[in-house]
Amino acid sequence: MISGFENIQLATIIVVVVAGFAAGWVDAVVGGGGLIQLPVMLMIPGITPVQALATNKMGSIFGTTTSAVTYYRRVGPDLKTAIPMAVVALGGSFGGAVLAANLPQSVFKPIIVAALIAVAIFTALKPNVGELTALRHTGHRHYVLAGVIGAVIGFYDGLIGPGTGSFLIIALVTLMGYAFLEASAKAKIVNMATNAGALLFFLPHGSLLWGVGLLLGAANMAGGYLGARTAVKQGSGFIRVVFLVVVGALIIKLGYDVWNENLAHNG
């Protein structure tokens, strides 16, 4: 069992803790904490990309679980929708992780960037979207749509990952009609399951750095608890603003990746 602390300096450990806390906070409010956490994980000397991904998921599951419990106690999201959605998302995430091991992520990134730009424009131009819950579907159609969203975004989380929580929130707001606050609460339950699905794939491969993962998890828990309490206190308007900031950062990050990959391919 590898702890990950064998060649790591104190300064790097401090950066990992700070990044874990910040990622937990951002994840709890709108998702997208991986933008902060994963690059820091890749700074650890000698770490492989697979170890970074696996350990990142391990840390994240502590944070998403903490924020999910906090949201449940304070918002009381409808578990009849959230639990089946989470179960389907777990399976989708496992499938995505399997495919990620055999397919270059560069194939999907341009599509994701285009989707994020569309989401950002839609949210910015529709200031009242997500202000109040007004469900678009009822009965069987509501649960089928929830399952489809869980499967697709769960698959995305296992395959690529960044912005999973943000995609869940915007899907729950725009396609299902939830307010941003309730969408965030449900998204955390589903995101917890997608992290678990990816971990189920990584565990048998011995990719986890257990010591670093547990430290990251503790920092994520603290950030996730504070982030969930902040979101509940500030409400849907605050979540919408943070959502736009995080989606903007996602567009820049993934767009930069696509640009660099195209340069490398054509160079």
- Give the separation between CA 198 and CA 64, rounded to whole angstroms: 14
The predicted structure's pLDDT at residue 45: 82
How many other C-beta atoms lie within 10 A of the C-beta of residue 196?
A: 18
Cβ(90)–Cβ(164) under 8 Å? no
Confidence at residue 229, expressed as pLDDT on a 0 to 100 scale? 93
Give kind and range of the element (H or E) at residue 93.
helix 79-100
For the record, the structure tokens of 142 come out as 């509501």
Q: How many helices (H) and strands (E) does the chain have?
A: 10, 0
198-to-55, 61, 153 alpha-carbon distances in Å:
11, 10, 13
Amino acid at 120: A
pLDDT at residue number 167: 87
**Which helix (DSSP H) or strand (DSSP E) does residue 189 occupy?**
helix 180-202
Residue 107: what pLDDT?
Answer: 64
Give dist(CA 126, CA 2) in Å, integer: 48
- The pLDDT, as a whole number, for residue 101 is 67
pLDDT of residue 118: 79
Amino acid identity, residue 167?
F
| Main-chain phi, psi angles of 243, to 5 degrees | -55, -45
How buried is 96 (Cβ within 10 angstroms: 0-12 exposed, 13-18 middle, 19+ buried)? buried
Is 227 within 8 Å of 92 (Cβ atoms)?
no
Instruction: Output the pLDDT for position 24.
Output: 93
Burial (CB < 10 A; 0-12, 13-18, 19+), residue 130, is buried
* pLDDT given at position 1: 54
CA distance 134 to 173: 9
With a cut of 70, list the residues of the chain below it in pLDDT: 1-2, 4, 101, 103-109, 127, 129-130, 267
Are 41 and 237 in contact by the 8 Å Cβ rule? The answer is no
